[in-house]
Amino acid sequence: MKILPLSFYHRARWLLHPTNSGPYRPWLIERGSLTKRLQAKTSRFQVSPLSVHDGSPHLDEAILLGLLPHRQALLRDVMLLDGQQALVFAHSVLPHSSLRGVWRGLNFLGNRPLGAALFADPRVKRAPLQYKKLTKQHVLYKALALKLEELPPSLWARRSIFKLKSAYKHQTIMVTEDFLPAVLELK
């Protein structure tokens, strides 16, 4: 087993509380469906798929999902929009072993929100949220920088794991949501 330098674990560390998150705090700590909250705040809510492909999750994602390093999973990146205004960048890791039973069709969502499917099923449980202020060095910040021209020096993000109680073992999905400044304009 490869032992990583301590600096990796420090950089990869996510927080249990969004300390010093200022105006983003209410968005970050929301335990309900972010999709529903955004739909309630705008009449032009839409999901814009950016990328859906098989790939290797980031190492800290793989560890939390119990995947072997370099194990392939379905990676889904979407932008949650108010019309054309980007509000949230969502990155999801869907292990192939989880895409069975009622979750079999999640790889074909297109422009439908993943959150709507997850929160609609009472058997789905959400693990506690984790928080991180992403800087330009973070891989998700870099991915978003390729999609948007202007980004602030840092972005607040949250992530959590959703678990489905079913006949299949280890059905888990990780969702990370990066909040863009425009979300603060929603009343």
- Strand partners for 164: 124
Two tokens at 26? 């209410």
pLDDT at 12: 62
Residue 135 one-letter amino acid? T
Q: pLDDT (tens digit, 9 = 90+) per residue, 80-137?
A: 999 999 999 999 999 999 998 888 888 889 999 998 889 988 889 999 999 999 999 9
The domains of the chain, with CATH numbers, are 6-185 (3.40.1410.10)
Q: Which residues, at least 6 apart from 54, have a Cβ–Cβ distance to it below 8 Å? A: 72, 73, 74, 75
Q: pLDDT (tens digit, 9 = 90+) per residue, 162-176?
A: 999 876 666 899 999
Using CA atoms in the order 97, 123, 117, 59, what is the torsion angle rounded to 10 degrees? Answer: -40
3-class secondary-structure state, position 177 = strand
Nearest to 27 by CA among 171, 163, 182: 182
